[in-house]
Amino acid sequence: MKLTRNLYIYIVLITFASIVFIYTLVNDIGIKQISDNPPTYETSTPFIYGLFCVLSTVILYKTDNARNSRLNLGFTYHLIGSAVVLLLIILPAIFSDAFRGPETFILPAVIAVVLLAHWISTRKDLKGIESKKAFK
């Protein structure tokens, strides 16, 4: 699979944003703890992170020159984004006590299931043409 210029930019942006977001989580930046209540965010860090990821995906995908090729570019963006986020979640979980616990591995499992469902759903059609019609 040959990566396009926009995919390289996407990898850098998502990696940087994920590292900054995980850093804010580990160091309790923007988190407010009131006695025994669960911690809450004072800032909109998770919202900004999610919005940044969605906007960078949409903008880079829509402006990618290889969009009209036979390559399943949407799946490639999804695969790369999922791989970067999973890697950056799993590595701290393995090497740090801050992320220990079974709830740490729920998000990677959900992302892997969603990625598998996306792959299965995109296998049915080729650019909107049913595979039975395309391969008579």
The pTM for the full model equals 0.68
CA–CA dist 33, 19 (Å, integer): 23
Average pLDDT, the chain: 76
What is the span of the domain harbouring residue 10?
5-134
Nearest Cα residue to 118 out of 82, 67, 70, 66: 82
User: So what's the pLDDT on residue 10?
Assistant: 92
Residues linked to residue 84 through DSSP beta bridges, in sequence order = none
User: Which residues make Cβ contacts (< 8 Å) with residue 64, sequence separation at least 6?
Assistant: 4, 6, 7, 73
Residue 136's pLDDT band, with cuts at 50, 70 and 90, is low
Q: Is residue 67 predicted with pLDDT exceeding 80? A: no
Residue 46's pLDDT band, with cuts at 50, 70 and 90, is confident
Q: How many domains does the chain have?
A: 1
> What is the per-residue pLDDT across 89-123, written as a single tens digit (0 to 9) for each?
777 767 766 666 666 677 777 877 887 887 777 66
Greater confidence (2 vs 81) lies with: 81
